[in-house]
Structure formats: C-alpha cells, structure tokens
Structure 1
Amino acid sequence: MSDPARRTRSEELLLARISAAAGRERLGRRRATYATAAHTARTARVKALIAPGIRGLLALVRPGGPAGAASARDAARLDLYENGMTVAVKHQIHVVRYDTTSVSRTEPAPPGGGGRVGAAFTLTGVDGEKVVLRAGPERGDAPEWWSQIEQDVIRAQLPRALTALSRGERLAFGAVWITKEEIGWGEVRAEWPRVRRLRSAPGTAGLDVDGTWHELGPEGPGIPNFPVLRALVERLGPGPGERFHHDVNGST
C-alpha cells in the first residue's frame, strides 16, 4: 500500500471508510493489509451473460495480458483484522466476520481451455453478499492472506461447531453432513472409527474409509466452509497412528 507520508486525499478517505466499517462490526485491531483482485458474485453473474467471443476480445485489452488476469477495475484492498476483514473494491467496502461467514475455494476453468487462471476464494459478508477474491495465475499455492483467513475462520467457528455436535445436532457443509457419530454425503455414510485419512488439494478432496478412497462430494474443496469441515474431521476422525493430509500445492 502507499507510504503513509504520501497518501492522497482519496486514500485517506478510503482508509477512514474502511476503519469506520470495521469499527461498526467490531472487527478489532487491524493486523495486515494486502493488494488483491476482487468482485462481488453479482458482478460475476453479469459477466457470465457476456458472449464468449466478446469476453475473449476483452481479455486481450486487460492490463496484464493473458485471459483471466485481473483488470485494474477489479483491484481491491484487503484488510485483515482480529475478528474479520474488509474488502474495498469498486468504491464499496465489504465487511466479513470470521464467526458468521461461509468461505470456499475453487479452481476456475481457464477461458478457452488455456493455462491456469488462479484460484478464486468466495466469502459471505455481514450483509449476505458474496465477495470473490482471486489469486494470481502464477501462484502454485494459496496466497498468504488466504491461509490466514482459513486459520481465523476455523478459530472462530470450530468451538461452536463442536458444541453443536455434542448436543446431538447435525451440521451440513453443502452436500456433506456430519454428526458426532458419523459423516456422510450422497450414498456414502461412515462412522468416525472407519475414517482413516483425509486428503485435500486444489480441485479435489477425499476420505479414506476402511481403506477405500471416496471423493468428498462433487464440489471438493469448493464445499462451503471446507476449512471448518476439515478441522472437524481431524478432531473426530482417525484413531491412533493415523494421520490426515492437507496439501495446498496439489501433491498427494
């Protein structure tokens, strides 16, 4: 971000708006700031209506060159706080609280079958609107800010989820559901002692149940709040000597 001594008037106003929004939602102390690319899910739906041929022409004139590169219009400021985060994009401030948001990570297909375009990270704001953050195509793993967001969401939501399970509640993560006794999705259903190993990587996730691998639903890590689900499986799952594997780089 800009040197504090050289901030423009517009930057000062933006910072004031961000601080005010964070204060209203009691996000606590600011811990880090990142420059990234973002848009709302509503913007994504509008873009989906553009004819493929026109999208290809627009990709040629975007700053950064190749299709899928973030345009200047998608430039965003991401501020991480103790209890949540703000995303400033297109003159709007979106606020996300770690204890109430739903997060997911997807690997979008490149336009026209080309090269990697980078992962997309979707979060639900306090107003219910979904904000999509994007990593650059040159990254082979999740960016630093996403790893921190995952950790903070788990920290905020895991205790409440464990309490709900102890009361006999059933928790749903997209098509996947869990209770304190078992996990299931589709036609798969397994009690926790049968679950040996969890493996997740960009675009795929699965469980070893009694020595047989089962894909964790068609959405894989795009499952809502997959980091929380992963943390719960790690708590409830394997017996002594077994281990879980989470690989952000895609190796198994």
Structure 2
Amino acid sequence: MFAEDEAELLRTATSDAGQLEQLVTRRVDGEPLEYVLGWAEFAGLRLRVAPGVFVPRRRTELLLRLALASLRGDPSLPHAQSSRRAEPTPRAEGSAQAREAPHVLELCCGVAPVATAVGARMPEASVIAADIDPDAVAVATENLAPLGGRAIESDLFAALPAGTQFDVIVANAPYVPSAELVHMPREAREFEHTIALDGGPDGLLLHRSIAADAAAWLSPGGVVLVETSRRQADADREIFATHGWRVEIVRDDDLDATAVRAMR
C-alpha cells in the first residue's frame, strides 16, 4: 500500500486531531497499519484485529476459494494450478454436497478470516474457529458472532466437542522454521505473537499433527486444506501421504499462495 493510501485511511479513522496524531505516531514507530486501524481487509471483508494477533494475509484467500469450491461440490481449483489432475470428491452420505448445513473448522485461526468469509458467503454453514492464543480467540469471537459462528481456545483439536465432524477443515498453521523468524519483516517478528509464526525446526510441526489427527474429525467426503510455502510443499505432500491422505499441492501465482488439499 502506498503512503498516500495509508494516510487517507488514518485520516478517516478519526475526526479528532489528537487521536489522529497518536495513530500516526504508532504507525511511524513501525506498528502494523492493521493494528493502528483496528481492522484488516480480507476477501472484501473488514475483520477486527488486535495487537499481537496474526494479521490475515491476502495469500490465505486461496484457502477460502478451495473451501468454498469443496462446500459447493465443485471439484475444480479456481485460479489455481494443481500438482496433478484434480479428482472429483466422492458424494458420500454426510458429505458437504449432501448436507444442508455444512460444517467448517478453521484451525490456528487468528482472527478467523476463512471461517468468517465462509459464513458471510454461506449463511447456512456452521463455522467454528480454534486457536491456542486466547487473544486470537477473543478477536475471532467478535468476527464470527454476527454470523452465528463461534471460536474456541484449543490446541488444534484438543478442546473441540467430542464426536464433532466437519466437511472442511482449513488451517493456516505456522510454517516458518524457528531459525528463520529473525528474517521475517519487522512488523511480523516484533508485533505478532511468536506462537502464530513459529512452525518448529522445519516449519511443519503442526502440519504433522494435523495430518495425523484430522481424519477423526472429518466427515465422509470431506477435505483438509492447509496453507504452506512453495519450498515446503513436497515435504507436506509426503507428511500427509504417510498418514493415508490423497494429496494435491495447489498453487496460485497471482496470490503467491500454496496449499495442501488432502482427502481420504
């Protein structure tokens, strides 16, 4: 975003000269614009954000597109390139295509951008978001409440209601290797909570947990979608394949986004 655009957003944030000066000072000191404004844009929505909570990135819109395609019974991969030919998702009883009210779970949700955007586009969907960071859960709750969704403080699946099943499980779990956090942009490494960024030694620690445990929470015919990076995609493919998943790596060059699409 250009400086002129940022300045205009700050000017429209308040009509009080003193408050405007405070906002400008915070931004000049390096605080992310989204924290200064109190909101972030994602897929045409303004989502509540709060200091420390992971700010949604535009590339995560790929997860949203794939989630909506699955929920609508569309096996195509919009605006994306797959590592192999996409296979139609089986129509099984209880699958997203057969259910009147599909169930969606967003893990490591931050402000719950995907769950909120799904709920806004599909009011019939039941959406739940989960995060281990209580600050993230508080903000996600604000974003989801008007849509009838809810957020839960949970270490991945640990605190979810037993027996719950989902048609789509989506996760933007941290995937930055621990040693590389120092190379992240200042706005991320100094202002966002480390727990939202640190993916362990190779960045894929939580991806392994999701691959190992997600099947127990997935409806027949459902899909797991996980954001990753281009250079980690092959390792992610092996992680999910080892746990019995059929795996696609999906790439969207316009968004500079990469995702795992895994099915049983």
Structure 2 length as normaliser, TM-score?
Answer: 0.28
The structure whose RCO (Cα within 8 Å, separation 6+) is larger is: 2
More strand by share: 1
Structure 1 length as normaliser, TM-score?
Answer: 0.29
Structure label with greater radius of gyration: 1
More helix by share: 2
